[in-house]
Structure formats: structure tokens, C-alpha cells
Amino acid sequence: MDEIDMDNEDEKKSSDQDKKFLNPTPMLDELEEGPWPSFITGIKELAERTKKPMLRGVMDQLEYSYQTRMGYWKGGLVMVRGYGSGVISRRTMIKDKIPEAAEFHTFRVQPAPALHYSTKMLRDLCDTWEKYGSGLITLHGQTGDIMLQGIEESKIQECFDAINQAGWDLGGAGPAMRTGVSCVGPARCENACYDTLKLHYRVLKYFTEDVHRPQYLYKFKFKFSGCPNDCSNSIFRSDLAVIGLWRDSIQMDSTEVLDWIEKNGTDSLVNNVINRCPTRAISLEHGEMVIDNKNCVRCMHCLNVMPRALSPGRERGVTVLVGGKNILKVGAMGCTMVVPFFKMDADEDVDKFIELCESIIDWWNDNGFEKERIGETIERVGLKQFLTGVGLEASVDMVAKPRSNPYYKSKY
Amino acid sequence: MNVKRTWKTVESGPRDYQEALHPVVKKNYGKWKYHELPKPGILKHVAESGDTLFTVRAGTPRQDSVDLIRRLCDIADKYADGYLRFTVRNNVEFMTPDEENVELMVKELEAIGLPVGGVGPCVSSVAHTQGWLHCDIPATDGSGVVKSIMDSLYDDFKNWQMPSKVRLSTSCCAINCGGQADIAIVVKHTRPPRVNHEIIANTCELPKAVACCPVAAIRPTVVNNKQSVMVDHKKCMYCGACFGACPAIEINHPEHSKIGVWVGGKNSNARSKPSLGSLVAHNLPNNPPRWPEVNEVIRKILTAFKKEGRPWERLGEWIDRVGWKHFFEETDLIFEKDMIDSYRHARTTFNQSAHVRF
């Protein structure tokens, strides 16, 4: 930490001598203090090196926001040819005061699934972005896009052509299919119960048309997690969550179990594994750890604590959940399980899954209101109606418990 | 378009990932056996083939410059065979099969100001939003709030001092793009929006503005012979949904847009089911550039959790065990009447039992 502080001191001294491209930003400067990496230091360095007036305008406007505690960007429409989304338009509301912040549009760019990069891909993208835009990049936006922030409308098409030529495409915005998110999956995780990267890639590729041309009622987001640890945060953050799990028994390596107990003690096994099982499915029988797999809900806890001893079963697939979203309009909602188990091994499984997704999205677009997320539509018209509409079998896995009121139209 | 186009758009969708995978990842794809956490910030994955892969994870500002990204690429070229990846919490990860590269990478990352950590029972980086830097509807900043919080939690990012992982998020408006987290910082307005009758008819689609309100507080009206809307102040609960749909219905205010703190949100299915956060502090001032009042509340919550939480227990699971009364006592936060739910399904949050702690 001392070293870092000293570096900052040195940087400040030298920049005080030769700068003056940026205007004073006393409030933002306070965000250069402290040990966590400062985005303000980063923007300043970039601005002083490249002398892009847009960056000076953005810093001036941000300082003004800090002083007045208000935002000053307005949205609008800026597009590349043939697309109806992917560019977020930003123009300043206070052009008289800060003319250099006149335009600060953003590209949403779809990264590779699970956010893997080669340095070549990233360096090329940086070079193109510095040539046409501000050089400021968010890695990553909350929906999972690379956000190239700050470009003028006149350069949009040329810049897009360059990044598109390099293999990148734009992400979604507005009432459209949005960019997907997937966890690290089989690339580097022993718990991945299906190929999250491949499914993300295939599904989003299939819906590419809907990413670029908003034609839904509202946004629709896919997230792909390889196991119920749900590292892509799909349940509360996506309209359609695909979570890997297994149908048979947890694989147990008894030698490793004994090693674990030897290393951590029986107390730890009882307190941290057995007692933490949500369905009391683990017990000690004659000193041996036994799992009642019939009663296991695949929560992942014991596998997380004992990664060498326990692994997911062999019969793997996904569970499909629908309708997660955050607060607006009618409050935050978690996804609801609508397909308890779906095999996801062969290419035909993927085709079948995409077919299912299509009928879910079609049902929503036929039955929802404008600006209604699918979770809200399901809540308004009923899960029963959703299942009938999409052609899914009702199952007890879809409810925490059966209904407690008699208000339904029974058959007679 | 004054430049003549020579390129025809290829609608390629997500970037192909094959060329982005580290060779050891490619070789052992889907064939990993187990992982260990040798020390904070470091993961060790072992494959069925016997291959070992070390990962070094570091925090980033998220709001990066091309200069910083090139520096990350330099490190990846030097020690990680030219590959890197990012996590959903904006951390960067470098992978290498060579154990000796690990410490060298840690050193270089710390030298460019990036803390190594965020793995295991610690605070990870904050899922956050754009705020004043780039959003069109923010009531506060994103990156600045995060910088202020993570300065205070720097040691908790780099070391294993928590009972379990702690996930944070911030959101610059009530839409809550930051999402559910153990501790979520979310703007809460305290006044109804103001309608700009002069411009609204030309700025917004009025039926959409009317339809977006969760409590039907917005109604069409005519002001000075112009189509407009009125807001029923008795119904309005200041969510700002209308401002997102129509910029002429301004909700943001330098004084009356406050900040609330929510705890116990959880995305994972491990042990307990995923859960939504609960409001435990509100009316905190929106106080740039350092938001000290928000930081103080986070400190109180994490101090109590650190003291009382048990291994593997997430913040919300700790509260489930000890009860909300104890939580408020231990954190020195004050339960107020407004923290009783009054919206749809409110009854599901009431104590419909004789269970009580004294």
C-alpha cells in the first residue's frame, strides 16, 4: 500500500508540472485518494495523453454533477445502418455550459461467452476505440456488454464497420433480446453440468435478429449458469435462467471424504456440512458420511465445502426458470422453475431448447402488455395459463407448496 | 454518412469464444476435477488429466481506459500466455499453469494499483451501474460510490476476514440495475416527481407515461391547453418509474433523492433459496464525493456480520438465524415504521406467528 501511495504522489507531482489540458475538478480529485483503483485517475491519464476534448467535457460535466447532485445526460436515437439497437445515445443537457460534452454515445458490444479474451482481441479493440472514440471502456455493463463509451455520431458507422470486421457485433437495447451472460462453466469449473459457453453462443446467435431489431414488449434476458451456485446471478437478473444440475446421485470419493475429515475434523463435518444441508439429507452412519440423494435439492453447499470429495452426478442437464427481474414496475421477482430437468448433451437438445424458448417468447409477446417483463405477465395472467400457452406439463416442482385458497375454476 | 462504406455488416452475435480460451482451458474443457483456494485472490484448478491451472484475480475500476486494458494485456502476455477473462463482478482473472508466475503476477498487478483478492470468504467487488458519468436517469453516481466503498473495504477484499463471501451492489436509481446482493445500496426518492407541462407533449408518449406507474398515480390532463399528465401525490410512492419512461416527469432532486441500504439479497441456491434484500437504513444523504454516511452503515453491518456470522453463512442466513431484532441491535441501525412492507404481497413478510425474541 505504501508503494502505491508513493506512486500516486509521484504521478501527481509530474502531472502538476506539465498538464493543463483538463480543467480543475476538485471534487473528482478526492476520488483519487485511497487504495482502491481510481477510475478518475484513469480518465485523467487518458485525457492528458490523448487530449480528446470529449474527455475534458465528460470530466467537466461529471464534476458539475458532483457539485449539483444531478445528472445531465439525455438519451435519444443514434443507430448504425440496419440496426435498431446497440448504440446508446448520450448528449449533454447543458451544452451552453459544457459544449465539449455535446455527444458521448456508447456502443454495446457482445463479448465472448463467459468473458474470455485473448490479448490480441482486446488490444485490437482498444486501438480501434482509441482511433474513433474516447478510449473509455466499461468491462462490463450489468447486462454483460462491453461498453465502448464516448463517440460522436459522425464516426459511429465507420467505427462499427471496423469492430464488426474484427469479429464483434453489437448487443441489445430497448425492447429487444439482450446480450446474454454465462458463468465460466466447463472452461474452468468442475461443477459445470452443461456447456454454458456453447449454449449461450448458440442461443444468442439464434436470436441475433431480435437483438438488433427491438420488436418485443420489453427487454428479454438470458443467463446461463453451470450449476445452482448460479455465478451468472440468473434467478433475479434474467427473464430466462438456465441452470445446470444433475438428476442422479452426487458422486462421492470416499477416500477424499476421509482425507477431508482427517484434515478438518468431525466437528467441522457436522457444523459446516451436515447441519448446513437445507433438507437434512446428510447423516453420519457408523462414522461414515451418507447422502440421501432422493432428498437432495441440488443446492451445491456440500460440494462447495468438499470439492475434492463430492462432485455433481453423471446424469446432467439443466433446469429452466422464467420471469426474473428487478424492481420496476411491480417489484423484484425471482425466476420460477418451469422445466425441472432438460437434457442438454447433444446438438438436438440445444435445438429443442431453442424451440421451447421461442414458444415462451411468443407466448409473452402475444399475452403481455407493453413494457411488461415476462415475470409480470405470468403474475398477472397466472402460471397455469403460461403453462397451457407454452404447452408445458404442470409439476409440483414448480411451486413451493400447493395453493392455500379455493379461488379457482374447478372442473366439473 | 459522408464516408463511402466498403464493409457489409455481418450479424455475428456473440463473439466466438474458441480463440479466447487459454490453451490449458481448451485442453481440459469440461474435464476439471476439483479446485482449491491456496490463498486470497488465488484459485488452483486441477483437471482429470493432472493439469493444474492457477488463476490470479484482481479488482478493477470497471470504468477502464484503453491504457489500463493494455496494461492488463501486457501482464497477460508476460505471464498468462496471452489470455485473460473477467468476472461478473468486474474482476479480472489471469490463468497460468506455472506456479512461479503467480507471485510475479500478484506483484505486477499490485504495482499498477490493482488489488489481488475477491476469492473466498471476503468482500468481492461491487456490481454497479453507470450513474452520473453516463446514465440518462441517475440520481447519484455509480463508480464514485463504489470507489468510496471499496477504499473502506480494501482489506476485506484482499483478505479472508468474513464468515462467508460478501457481495455488494449499488444502483443510481430505484430501477436497481445493481441487483440483489448481501448489501445493496439503492437510491430512494422522498418526493413525488415534477411534471414539465411545457415540454411533455412533445417529449413523451403520454399513454406510456400513464401506464408505467405501479400504483396508477399518473393521469392524463390538460394544462394551458396542452396535453399533459398529473401525479396523484396521495398515491405516489416516489419510485421514479415515470422518469425512466418520460424525461419530462423529473424525479431526481439534489436534496430529496436519498439513499437506502438493503441487506440479505442472495443469488446463489447454496443452502437457502435465493432471496431478496430487506430495507434496513434509509434517508441517507446523497453526499458526493465520498458518501460517508453510506459507508458508515456498511461498516456497521459488516462489523456485526464479521463478529457473529458462522462459516459459510451468508449475511441473510446469519440474520435468519439470529433474527431481525438482534440484527438491528448489533448493527445499531434503527427499525422504522416505513420498513414494514405496504406493497403487494406485504402480508408474506409479516410475522404471522407467536414467535418472538426478548
Closest residue in chain B to residue A166, using alpha carbons only: B15
Task: For residues A261 and A153, state if they share a domain.
Answer: no
Band (pLDDT 50/70/90 cuts) for residue B331 is: very high
Domain match, A303 and A360 both = no
Give pLDDT, residue B4.
Answer: 79
Give me the mean pLDDT over the B128-135 stretch.
94
Residue A321 pairs in a beta bridge with A241, A337
| Residue B175: pLDDT band with limits 50, 70, 90 | confident
Is the same domain home to A122 and A55?
Answer: no
Size of interface A-B (CB pairs under 8 A): 375
Mark whether A328 and A208 lie in a shared domain: yes
Residues of A in contact with B129 (CB under 8 A): 142
A300 and A286 both lie in a single domain: yes
Q: For residue A282, what are the domain limits?
A: 251-311
- Domain end position, chosen among A66, A100, A123: A66
**Minimal Cα–Cα distance from A340 to chain B, Å?**
15
Q: For chain B, say whether A405 makes contact (Cβ under 8 Å).
A: no
Name the pairing type of β-strands A336-343 and B257-263. Answer: unpaired
Task: Provide the whole-model pTM.
Answer: 0.96
Inter-residue contact A321 to B50 (CB < 8 Å): no
Measured between beta carbons, the chain A residues lying within 8 angstroms of B9 are 80-83, 160-161, 164
Is A297 part of any domain?
A: yes
Provide the CATH number for the domain around residue A262. Answer: 3.30.70.20
Beta strands in chain B (DSSP E): 32-39, 42-47, 52-58, 63-65, 83-86, 92-96, 168-171, 183-189, 194-195, 218-223, 226-231, 249-250, 257-263, 278-284
Residue with cell 408518449: B205
Residue B345 carries which DSSP code? T
Stretches where chain A sits below pLDDT 70 are: 1-19
- Claim to verify: residue A258 and residue A362 sit in the same structural domain: no
The residue among B53, B69, B108 with the most chain A CBs within 10 A of its CB, best to mutate, is B69
Query: Does the beta-carbon distance from B151 to A35 stay under 8 Å?
Result: yes
Query: Which residues on neighbouring strands pair with residue A107, listed in sequence order?
Result: A87, A148
Domains of chain B: 18-111 (3.30.70.3340), 131-189+254-349 (3.30.413.10), 194-250 (3.30.70.20)
CA distance A365 to chain B (A): 17
Closest residue by Cα to residue A159 from B3, B90, B85, B38:
B3
Do A241 and A355 lie in a common domain? yes
A28 touches chain B (CB under 8 A): yes
In a domain, A8, yes or no: no
Q: Please give, rounded to a whole number of angstroms, the shortest distance from the CA of B195 to a CA of chain A.
A: 17
- Please write the tens of the pLDDT for every residue from B25-44: 999 999 999 999 999 999 99
Torsion of CA A110, A375, A219, A389, to 10 degrees: 100
> What is the tally of structural domains in chain A?
4
Q: Which of B87, B116, B268, B314 to mutate to test the interface with A (most CBs of A within 10 A)?
A: B268
Residues in chain B: 358
**Residue B177: its chain A contacts at CB < 8 A?**
142, 326
Residue-wise pLDDT tens digits, A49-72: 999 999 999 999 999 999 999 999
Contact B180 A233 (CB under 8 A): yes
Helix axes A119-132, B66-79, angle to 10 degrees: 160
User: CA B83, CA B97: separation in Å to the nearest integer?
Assistant: 12
At a CB cut-off of 8 Å and minimum separation 6, what does B13 contact? A110, A169, A201, A204, A205, A208, A211
pLDDT of residue A328: 85
Contact B64 A42 (CB under 8 A): yes
Q: What is the DSSP secondary structure assignment for residue A381, as one 8-state letter?
A: H
CATH code (residue A78): 3.30.70.2500
Residue A313 CB partners (closer than 8 Å, separation 6+): A246, A247, A248, A249, A250, A251, A293
Domain presence at residue A213: yes
- A36 lies in the same domain as A102: no
- Given a cut of 90, whether residue B180 has pLDDT beyond it is yes
Nearest chain A residue to B33 by CA distance is A190
- B6, B10, B136, B186: best mutation site toward chain A, by most A Cβ within 10 Å? B136
Under an 8 A CB cutoff, do B61 and A39 touch?
A: yes
Residue A371's region, left for phi above 0, alpha for psi from -120 to 50, else beta, is: left
Buried b / exposed e along B130-140 (16+ C-beta atoms within 10 A): bbbbbbbbbbb
Residues of B whose CB is below 8 A from A375: none
Query: Do A155 and A199 form a contact (C-beta atoms < 8 A)?
Result: no
- Residues of B in Cβ contact (< 8 Å) with A311: 33-34
**A374-388, B169-183, B300-314 — which is least confidently predicted?**
B169-183
Residue B340 has pLDDT above 50, yes or no: yes
- Per-residue pLDDT tens for B226-277? 999 999 999 999 999 999 999 999 999 999 999 999 999 999 999 999 999 9
Interface check for A120 against chain B (CB to CB < 8 A): the answer is yes
Distance from CA of B152 to the nearest CA of A (A): 8
Residue of B nearest to A333 (CA): B276
| Nearest Cα to Cα of residue A234 among A324, A301, A331 | A324
A324 with A270, same domain? no
User: What separation in angstroms does the CA of A400 have from each of A205, A245, A327, B43?
Assistant: 34, 19, 22, 36
ipTM, interface predicted TM-score of the complex: 0.96
Q: Are residues A307 and A320 in the same domain?
A: no
* DSSP codes of every residue in A127-138: HHHHHHS-SEEE
What CA–CA distance (Å, rounded) separates B225 from B218?
Answer: 18
CA–CA separation, A239 vs A217, rounded Å? 13
**How far apart are the C-alpha atoms of B169 and B177, rounded to whole Å?**
9
Q: What is the 3-state secondary structure (H, E, C) of A353-379?
A: HHHHHHHHHHHHHHHCCCCCCHHHHHH
Per-residue confidence (pLDDT) for residue A3, from 0 to 100? 46
Which residues 310-329 on chain A approach chain B with CB closer than 8 angstroms? Answer: 311, 326-329
Q: Which of B83, B95, B87, B96 is closest to B20 using CA atoms?
A: B83
C-alpha to C-alpha distance for B205 and B132, rounded to whole angstroms: 25
Alpha carbons B4 and B6: distance in angstroms, whole number? 6
Question: Is B137 an 8 Å CB contact of chain A?
Answer: yes
Shared domain check, A282 and A336 = no
Q: Are residues A226 and A324 in the same domain?
A: yes
